[in-house]
Amino acid sequence: MKKEIVVIVGSGMMGSALAFPSRENGHTVRLVGTHLDKEIIDECRKTGKHPKFSTPFPSGVEYYQIEELDDALKNADMVIGGVSSFGVDWFADYVLPRIPKGVPVLTVTKGLIDLQDGSLISYPEYWEQKCKEKGIAVDLNAVGGPCTSYELVAHDQTVVSFCGRNIDTLKHLKEVMQTSYYHINITTDVIGIETAVALKNGYALAVALTIGVNQKEYGIDSELHYNSQAAVFGQATKEMTKLLSLRGADTIDNRAVGFGDLYVTVYGGRTRLVGILLGRGLDIDQAQKELSGVTLESLVVARRVARAIRIKAGKGELDLNDFPLLMHVDDILTKKVKVDIPWDEFTK
């Protein structure tokens, strides 16, 4: 396999984690921090280790500040977008126009944008629209599936999906990135994969509510109660399936990716933490203050999807009663109602 230059823009945890398989495959890896990542890049240059990871980067990873982006992109063969959902517009306006023509982009950013008519579009679809408006031709691809950054760094066995418009591009990206522990499916179903993995964030928060509720009732150090978690998990899969159908993307493969990602997100990460705090009785402002400095993308997607559903329901295109779990999560986030999981609604 030809050794390539892989440029990662955004030194958050997931973008940075992808430096491990790509560098371990022998490629040149350039990790570029955003304007918010200056301290991270300084730390990486000093220690060779990301401040959030216990394992150092593979030897030879190169580090760049955002002001050095153009230098980092010289002769690039592939660009990985590692920004959070809060950097979607910045990535579109600042990074995509700088990427050399013909260089494929693989993004890790998960989320959906709701339009005024109640439609939902994924970030790759949004970026494609933005690029078209600017007259920019970019080969956009995305990665989705059950994968936490710290477990990827630890070489835990992981299976993900790369999605994009061009199957030949996807085959090439898979060749660059796949390792003995990082296994990659490829598909041209961008809408399905990206919808499934975005939805999981809001619903993982819902499952985590039950953990906090039980801690509030039985004590923080009490044993976990799995019945309630499983019940909410099951309702989440029902609602996610309906939303995939709404986007014309309800397939076994998409469900598998979405439900697997839901499982991973429930059992680790930031979404679990905020759900537990809400379940214990904090309102969303108090929970966010408690988790100061933590990026909470789950809140964004839950609010956007709920807003879209309400618009669609108002037009008679779907029934709000099919989404009792998400509607309750939305009320918790937007109206600050107390957690009171609508159990009886799940069996109607």
Average pLDDT score over residue span 243-272: 92
H or E stretch covering 10: none
Tell me the backbone φ, ψ of residue 243, rounded to 5 degrees.
-70, -35
- How far is 83 from 130, CA to CA, in rounded Å? 17
200 classed as catalytic: yes
- How far is 144 from 216, CA to CA, in rounded Å? 34
Nearest to 99, CA basis, from 133, 76, 132: 76
Sequence-ordered strand ranges (E) for 41-167: 62-64, 78-81, 105-107, 112-114, 120-122, 140-144, 158-164
Distances (CA, A) of 320 to 54, 248, 308, 313, 324: 45, 19, 11, 6, 7
Distances (CA, A) of 65 to 29, 50, 140, 302: 14, 14, 23, 32
- How far is 107 from 19, CA to CA, in rounded Å? 13
pLDDT over 70 percentage in the chain: 99
Average pLDDT score over residue span 10-21: 97
pLDDT greater than 80 at residue 325: yes
Tell me the backbone φ, ψ of residue 22, rounded to 5 degrees.
-70, -40
Q: Could you tell me which CATH number the domain at 191-347 has?
A: 1.10.1040.10
Provide the pLDDT for residue 269: 76
Distances (CA, A) of 329 to 197, 224, 278, 294, 297: 18, 21, 10, 19, 14
- How far is 269 from 285, CA to CA, in rounded Å? 19
Catalytic-labelled residue, pool 200, 216, 238, 335: 200
pLDDT greater than 90 at residue 298: no
pLDDT greater than 80 at residue 257: yes
pLDDT over 90 percentage in the chain: 92
Is this prediction's pTM over 0.85? yes
The residues, any chain, with a CB within 8 Å of residue 259's CB and separated by 6 or more, are 200, 237, 240
What radius of gyration, in Å, describes the C-alpha atoms of the chain? 20
Q: Can you give 84-105 as a three-state secondary structure string?
A: CHHHHHHHHHHHHHHCCCCCCE
Decide if domain 5-188 falls under CATH 1.10.3720.10.
Answer: no
Nearest to 183, CA basis, from 109, 260, 104: 260
| Residue 335 token pair | 């109206």
- Where are the chain's structural domains? 5-188, 191-347
Provide the pLDDT for residue 260: 96
- How far is 273 from 135, CA to CA, in rounded Å? 42
Nearest to 299, CA basis, from 323, 314, 277: 277
Provide the pLDDT for residue 295: 66
Provide the pLDDT for residue 146: 95
Task: Look at residue 6 and give its three-state secondary structure.
Answer: strand
Predicted confidence (pLDDT) per residue in 201-250, tens digit: 999 999 999 999 999 999 998 888 999 999 999 999 999 999 999 999 99
Predicted confidence (pLDDT) per residue in 54-109, tens digit: 999 999 999 999 999 999 999 999 999 999 988 999 999 999 999 999 999 999 99
H or E stretch covering 28: strand 28-32
Average pLDDT score over residue span 128-154: 95
- How far is 260 from 147, CA to CA, in rounded Å? 9
Task: Look at residue 64 and give its three-state secondary structure.
Answer: strand
